């Protein structure tokens, strides 16, 4: 079984809305004064280019905004410490104009001026008035969580600075209200039930305690009302049935999301996701997001026979790891000295989206944490995924792992420096083929750039 952490990059306080009311008294300005001059590192420029593309601004403007992250964070921390009695929160609006909002319960303009006057933040700050301070909101959130603990299901609770309230996210307000009344739970002032579209529900939770396929333990997580949180690591491995225990090969027992179910079709056993799609097949490799745990709560534990207990994987999402019916590529698993390597061949639908050909060079590598062949190049931010022609193959004998072309000739060996003629798949999330490729690649072949090989020397 293969595991790795999933790194999710995020901009500081990104995508949180902001209201108006300018501290400087000059009104909303579409061209704020320049931020501090900072050395432009390679990492900063990379982040700025990504931000610029996402927000539709110039790279220079993106660099200016990103360079303000530390001053904004410092201001937030200072206000929390020095103005706790009236400070109601700080957040960023990225569009239509870049602004930072600071909220106070009273005297906001007077309170804030000494902190921002003469700084690069002065012309991009906007004020808002809130009924409750941040300290009060945090106390309300803690009290709301204590009251909600009286329920026999989980509810997602969040602190909304822009709405100056504690939000209890639910999918069915009337049902949750009746459940609160049943257990005698009272939410504090400032906490509100907020209906969310597409959220999860805890209704019918008791039905989940009955295994959907007799004789196979299928433990599911305790349902949550509104939103269900999950860890974001990845685990891959073959899903196997050992007696009544449905495990990942190696022993870890998945604890499935409450909306998942199990279905038997003849000799095949399928894990079905909440949308009715096949999330995994017993006997085949699965890719599971989530996280590892040596313990679980009593509600889940009652679903797990004694023989199946041990290490658990709390599943966030699941899909087959090897998609043989993809119209972009076909995977083949080849046993090599390092591992069971995945050899990817591109199909016409992927080839049609690639850029014009270019010559590149680097070292052909097969890392322990990756199962696909990659090209290790300098100056490109890491190894590159390689896709090969449909009549090429991977050969492994006597410790030698080689790529063989359509004529049967070995043209590249793992560990050697190689020259390749390749075409690149654009890294553009607006491009449907790129989104599909990211969603269909084996989870232990993930990476940055993807190149289609035409020729190797």
DSSP string, 148-216: HTTSSSEEEEEEETTTTEEEEEES-HHHHHHHHHHHT--PPTTEEEEE-TT-B--TTGGGGGS-SSTTS
343 and 448 share one domain: yes
Predicted confidence band of residue 381 (pLDDT cuts 50, 70, 90): low
Q: Which helix (H) or strand (E) holds 136?
A: helix 134-148
pLDDT of residue 30: 34
Predicted confidence band of residue 44 (pLDDT cuts 50, 70, 90): confident
The answer as to whether 208 is a domain residue is: no
21 and 117 share one domain: yes
How many structural domains comprise the chain?
Answer: 4
Specify whether the CB–CB gap between 393 and 404 falls below 8 A. Answer: yes
Query: Among the ranges 18-22, 47-51, 342-346, which has the highest mean pLDDT value?
Result: 342-346
190 and 88 share one domain: no
334 and 219 share one domain: no
The answer as to whether 16 is a domain residue is: yes
- What phi and psi values does residue 174 have, to the nearest 5 degrees? -60, -40
Given a cut of 80, whether residue 28 has pLDDT beyond it is no
55 and 9 share one domain: yes
305 and 406 share one domain: no
360 and 242 share one domain: no
Q: What is the pLDDT of residues 270-304, one digit of tens each?
A: 999 988 999 999 999 999 999 988 888 888 999 99
The better pLDDT of the pair 106, 156 is held by 106
pLDDT of residue 100: 96
The answer as to whether 204 is a domain residue is: no
The answer as to whether 47 is a domain residue is: yes
Given a cut of 90, whether residue 226 has pLDDT beyond it is no
* Domain around 146: 134-195
Q: What is the pLDDT of residues 411-425, one digit of tens each?
A: 999 999 999 999 999
pLDDT (average), residues 131-147: 97
Given a cut of 60, whether residue 118 has pLDDT beyond it is yes
408 and 389 share one domain: yes
Predicted confidence band of residue 7 (pLDDT cuts 50, 70, 90): very low
Specify whether the CB–CB gap between 70 and 98 falls below 8 A. Answer: no
How far is it, in rounded angstroms, from Cα 247 to Cα 424? 38
| Dihedral angle computed from the Cα positions of residues 279, 280, 285 and 287, in that order, rounded to the nearest 10 degrees | 30
SS3 112: helix
pLDDT of residue 379: 60
Last residue of a domain, which of 286, 320, 354? Answer: 320
283 and 347 share one domain: no
Last residue of a domain, which of 261, 295, 320? Answer: 320
Given a cut of 60, whether residue 3 has pLDDT beyond it is no
pLDDT (average), residues 79-90: 97
Last residue of a domain, which of 99, 129, 159? Answer: 129
338 and 448 share one domain: yes
Among candidate residues 317, 322, 318, 323, the one with its CA nearest the CA of residue 285: 322
SS3 357: coil
Name which of 21-35, 41-55, 219-233, 372-386 the model is least confident about: 21-35
- What phi and psi values does residue 181 have, to the nearest 5 degrees? -65, -40
How far is it, in rounded angstroms, from Cα 179 to Cα 168? 14
105 and 160 share one domain: no
- Return left, alpha or beta for 270; rule: phi > 0 is left, psi -120 to 50 is alpha, else beta: beta
The answer as to whether 8 is a domain residue is: yes
The answer as to whether 163 is a domain residue is: yes
pLDDT of residue 205: 81
The answer as to whether 400 is a domain residue is: yes
| Beta-bridge mates of residue 194 | 169
CATH number at residue 177: 3.30.300
The whole-chain average pLDDT of the chain stands at 86
């Amino acid at each position: 079984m293969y595991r790795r952490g999933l790194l999710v990059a995020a901009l500081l306080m990104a995508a949180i809305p902001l209201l108006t009311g300018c501290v400087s008294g000059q009104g909303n300005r579409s061209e704020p004064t320049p931020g501090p001059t900072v050395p432009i590192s390679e990492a900063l420029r990379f982040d700025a280019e990504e931000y610029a593309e996402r927000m539709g601004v110039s790279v220079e403007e993106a660099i200016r905004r990103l360079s303000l992250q530390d001053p904004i964070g410092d201001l937030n921390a200072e206000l929390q410490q020095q103005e706790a009695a009236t400070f109601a929160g700080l957040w960023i609006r990225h569009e239509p104009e870049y602004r930072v909002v600071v909220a106070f319960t009273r005297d906001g303009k007077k309170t804030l001026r000494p902190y921002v006057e003469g700084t690069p933040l002065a012309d991009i700050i906007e004020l808002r008035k809130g009924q409750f301070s941040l300290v009060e909101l945090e106390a309300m959130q803690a009290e709301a969580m204590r009251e909600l603990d009286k329920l026999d299901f989980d509810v997602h609770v969040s602190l909304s600075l822009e709405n100056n309230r504690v939000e209890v996210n639910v999918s069915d307000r009337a049902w949750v209200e009746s459940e609160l009344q049943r257990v005698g739970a009272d939410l504090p002032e400032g906490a509100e039930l907020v209906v969310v579209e597409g959220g999860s529900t805890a209704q019918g939770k008791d039905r989940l305690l009955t295994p959907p396929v007799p004789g196979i333990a299928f433990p599911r997580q305790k349902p949550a009302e509104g939103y269900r949180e999950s860890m974001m690591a990845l685990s891959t491995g073959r899903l196997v049935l050992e007696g009544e225990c449905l495990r990942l090969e190696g022993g870890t027992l998945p604890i499935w999301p409450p909306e998942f179910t199990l279905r038997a079709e003849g000799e095949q056993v399928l894990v079905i996701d909440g949308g009715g799609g096949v999330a995994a097949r017993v006997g085949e490799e699965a890719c599971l997001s989530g996280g590892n745990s040596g313990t679980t709560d009593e509600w889940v534990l009652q679903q797990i026979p004694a023989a199946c207990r041990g290490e658990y994987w709390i599943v966030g999402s699941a899909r087959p790891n090897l998609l043989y019916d993809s119209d972009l590529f076909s995977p083949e698993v080849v046993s090599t000295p390092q591992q069971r390597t995945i050899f990817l061949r591109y199909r016409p639908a992927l080839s049609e989206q690639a850029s014009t050909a270019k010559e590149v060079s680097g070292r052909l590598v097969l890392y322990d944490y990756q199962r696909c062949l990659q090209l290790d190049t300098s100056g490109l931010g890491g190894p590159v995924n390689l896709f090969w022609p449909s009549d090429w193959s991977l050969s492994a004998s006597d410790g030698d792992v080689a790529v063989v072309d359509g004529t049967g000739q070995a043209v590249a060996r793992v560990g050697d420096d190689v020259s390749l003629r390749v075409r690149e798949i654009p890294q553009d999330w607006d491009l449907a083929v790129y989104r599909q490729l990211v969603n269909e690649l084996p989870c232990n072949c993930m990476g940055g750039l993807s190149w289609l090989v035409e020729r190797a020397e």
